[in-house]
Chain A
Amino acid sequence: MATAPTKGEEKEAENPLASGLERLPIRPTTLTIFGATGDLARRKLLPALYNLAHEGALPERFNLIGASRSEMADEEFRKQARESIQQFSRRATDAKVLDALLEGVRYVSGSFDDPGLYERLGTAIEECDEQAGVEFNRVYYLSTSPSFFAEIVKQLGDHGLDHHEKSDVRVVIEKPIGTNLREARELNAAVLDVLDEEQVFRIDHYLGKETVQNVLAFRFANGLFEPIWNRNYIDYVQITASEDLGIGSRAGYYDASGALRDLVQNHMLQLLTLLCMEPPVSFSADEVRDEKVKVLHSIHPPRPEEVCEMAVRAQYGAGVVAGEDARGYLDEEDVPADSATETYAALRLEVDNWRWAGVPIYLRTGKRLARKVTEIAITLKPVPHLAFQQEGAVGVQPNQIVLTVQPNEGASISLGAKIPGTRMRIRPVNMEFLYGTTFMSESPEAYERLIMDAMRGDATLFTRDDEVEAQWTIVDPILEGWGAEAGPIPQYESGAQGPEEAERLLEPDHRWRAI
């Protein structure tokens, strides 16, 4: 991925020492985490920073500042951060590296709408600069409730923390960007009232996953697939993100969100765009995102009367999961008895452009399904003439290309092959590539990659304002249509394949892959 130009970099000579290094340098950075005592920071961000430090991947000079509402001294925050890292790091911690990471960590407390917080923060950041004699780049990571995003950005602007004469200032914003199109637009407008789009890094952590990025490698590094990657050869596409678990203790969040907002609007549409986009001219941030946005614009948002034809929602009912009885969604703790929140969503979309016109793209996601899997399955059109005997064998089936994002990351292609014997009988066989058997490297956590990219100024794996809004443009009418429906929503048995109603989305001869 190319590095975005940073302040003054356009005229700047290339660093001759950086050329050829496996890991390119990152400019000195002061990273401020808003919501530094929250769950995301504790479980993901702080451990990710430790792992970057362990691997020597943080900038040469690096400062970390925690900002949150809880009153505490620097030392107390360091203690909390140490405990979080030791508990959640993907690797055992090296005490000396951990000490080095936490040694200079600072903490500023205050309510996110309290101007005093930003004054103290500004002072802390300037002290970092002065002590080092370096103008550090500033990265603000908003790991707070979404309701604070606009306020924090406004306060950064009010206190002159949004721009700096000699260094780059970037703001990382966690999902969700709004809960509908209107909110997304309002948030984007509020953010861009203070910042330039180039400064904004909207996280969709799915894009930080190696296997999601590999969709691009699979498509654009292999001449084998491009000739068939179109409506002439592809019959239909299925994108599945299923989980075997229920909502656990997340009823508060989940019941207000639902499957469509939780997974489809962001992660699954990201997968769809990577699958369907045209080859970008280069892998620079805007070239890639331009192509993704074109795909989203090619999907017609459904009219109200079309919603029931192209979208299905359901809730998990009671069932058996892994041999144990499992309760239904409405019986989960803290879920309202009359909740109409969907735990399963399936859509049939069409990308109306030259390449994809007429190819149904089925999306489905759900909780408490048969197993956890995230995959893209591309089914090719059947061969035009069958010269082989179909009797006594499964016979010739359409080829299928399956890109598995998790759990067994890889790709497989189903082929027809002759069954050994004296007769010419055919059955499908699989040709498989599995990441785990082919690469020795352990994939970094998505957050490690994304934090590093944000510090480096590379926005390729982040979502642009128009991209988020285009996603909501597709999802909003479905939410509105479902909101207008009265009565209980369909149920599906926990541990099974999903609701029967999802079958109605499929065209004749199409079928859902077994989860």
Chain B
Amino acid sequence: MTASALEGGVWSAQDTSPSEVESELRGLLRERHAQSDAFVPARVLNLVVIADREWRGEIQNRLERVGRYHASRTILCAVEPGRKAIDGWASVTAPRSEGGSGAIVVGQEEIVLDIGSHHLEHLDSIVDPLVVTDLATLVWSPHGHPEAVDALLDLAQVVLVDSVDEPDPAQAALRAGRLAERAYVVDLAWLRSAPWRERVAGTFDPPEWRDDLSRISAVTVRHSPVSVIAGMLFLGWMAVRLGWQPGVMVSHGVALQGTAHGRHQDVTMRLEPDEAMSTPGFAGLTVETASGMSLSLDRGPGGLSARRTDREGRESRWTVMGASRGEPGILGEGIRQALLRDKSYGPALAAVKSMVAA
């Protein structure tokens, strides 16, 4: 061991070991307790992040901007090809107390480990001593490193993925499906469509419009060019919920198009990339029915701009209110979802497989 230092709630060391990091972190926690009775460590979940060393700062920035949805203990494994030894850094942070007497101050713990590529295959042996026992553990590997995720699957209960990171929707669905066999998968590509799913469900909720669900003849999703898989997941969700049998989607110019067999009629499924969308997600969607009704939802000021045209061609417009969460908000939502269980994703993912099958 070399150059160890403990300064102001932060500890770091070169050529260290997981047990030393864990021991020093415990020391930091004891120190904070001794400084203030009001200090209490958060106990929500462990987040293990595997990231390339050169992008470590960017990942830390993203994690800092997730808002209130912080993991209670974050273990960031920064991978540097060729590195042999493990360098470690640990901190315990808490907001400055502004409450009155008796108010608690909730602290979070962060560990950063600089590791080499050769550590990834047995990353569980490094991470295991560092996670808080009995808390759920979430793994996120934004720069690939599937071998590291695989190594942690016996340790972690939840894997955070963003299926849009994989350009080929078939591969994205395959990977997410494999992970889902061993852990609960939280997919940011799926979470981005949550408000859209809620809106479509809400639109057809009034009894007088409910019957139109069985008459849907076409669904078009306008999406960011990188979000094909997100569009497919949305269509898969509709197919599962409404009893459609989706077929393979094929290229129609820049769009993808396919047919789902519904109970009453076929449904045209269409995915249209919107080049103007610079962030992942949807730009809009349109649902049409055989009876001539169409509903469009598009991003707009203060929420989604809704436009409904009835069978007589009468049009009404309104705003479905809601603030955009932004990409940091989506990551925070992903962390929050790690402690919930969304039973809709798995079936939607299964439906996607039939849209991308050769």
Q: Do A and B come from one complex?
A: yes
User: Which chain A residues have a beta carbon within 8 Å of chain B's beta carbons?
Assistant: 8-9, 12-13, 15-23, 25-28, 53-56, 58-62, 94, 96-101, 103, 131-135, 166, 371, 407-408, 434, 436-442
Known: A53-B322, A56-B320, A97-B323. A12 touches B210 (CB 8 A): yes
Nearest-CB residue, chain A, relative to B195: A56
User: Is A408 in contact with B104, judged by CB distance below 8 angstroms?
Assistant: yes
A22 pairs with B321, CB closer than 8 A: no
Q: Is there an interface contact between A408 and B103, defined as CB atoms closer than 8 Å?
A: yes
With A56-B303, A96-B302, A97-B322 known as contacts, the answer to whether A133 contacts B104 (CB < 8 A) is no
Residues of A within 8 A of B102 (CB): 371, 407-408
Least distance between B285 CB and chain A CB atoms (Å):
13
B interface with A by C-beta (< 8 Å):
40-44, 68-70, 72, 99-104, 106, 194-195, 197-208, 210, 213, 238, 241-243, 301-303, 306, 310, 314, 316, 318-323, 335-336, 340, 342-344
> Which A residues are in CB contact (< 8 Å) with B314?
133
Report the Cα distance A53→B208, complex, angstroms: 24
- Is there contact, CB below 8 Å, between B301 and A99? yes
B205 contacts which of A15, A54, A135, A441 (Cβ < 8 Å)?
A15
Docked pose: A16 CA to B197 CA in angstroms: 12
Q: Closest CB-CB distance, A83 to chain B, in whole Å?
A: 18
Of B201, B310, B316, the residue contacting A18 (CB under 8 A) is B201
Within the complex, the shortest CB–CB distance from A326 to chain B, in Å, comes to: 16
- Is the Cβ of A17 less than 8 Å from the Cβ of B197? yes
Query: Which residues of chain B have C-beta atoms less than 8 A from A101's C-beta?
Result: 302, 321
Interfacial chain B residues near A21, Cβ < 8 Å: 194, 197-198, 201, 344
- Sample of 9 A–B contacts (CB below 8 Å): A16-B242, A20-B342, A60-B320, A96-B302, A98-B302, A135-B208, A407-B100, A437-B44, A440-B44
Question: Distance (Å) between the CB of B322 and the closest chain A CB?
Answer: 3
A439 closest partner in B (C-beta): B44
Q: Which residues of A contact B316 (CB under 8 A)?
A: 131-133
Within the complex, the shortest CB–CB distance from A314 to chain B, in Å, comes to 24
A-side contacts of B199, CB under 8 Å = 60
In the docked arrangement, what's the CA distance between A61 and B199, Å? 10
**B302 near A97: Cβ-Cβ < 8 Å:** yes
**Whose C-beta in chain B lies nearest to the C-beta of A7?**
B207
The verdict on A436 contacting B205 (CB below 8 Å), with A13-B210, A20-B344, A25-B198 known, is no
Q: Please name all residues of chain A whose beta carbon is closer than 8 Å to the beta carbon of B323 when the two chains form the complex.
A: 54-56, 94, 96-97
Q: Which listed residue (A8, A16, A437) contacts B41, Cβ 8 A? A: A437
Given contacts A97-B302, A97-B323, contact A27 B43 (CB under 8 A): no
Once the chains bind, are A437 and B319 in contact (CB under 8 Å)? no
With A and B bound together, what is the CA distance between A15 and B321 in angstroms? 22
What chain B residues lie within 8 Å of A22 (beta carbons)?
Answer: 194, 340, 342
Q: Contact at A60–B306, with CB atoms within 8 Å?
A: yes
CB distance from A418 to the nearest CB of B (A): 21
Chain A hits for B303, CB < 8 A: 53, 56, 96-97, 100
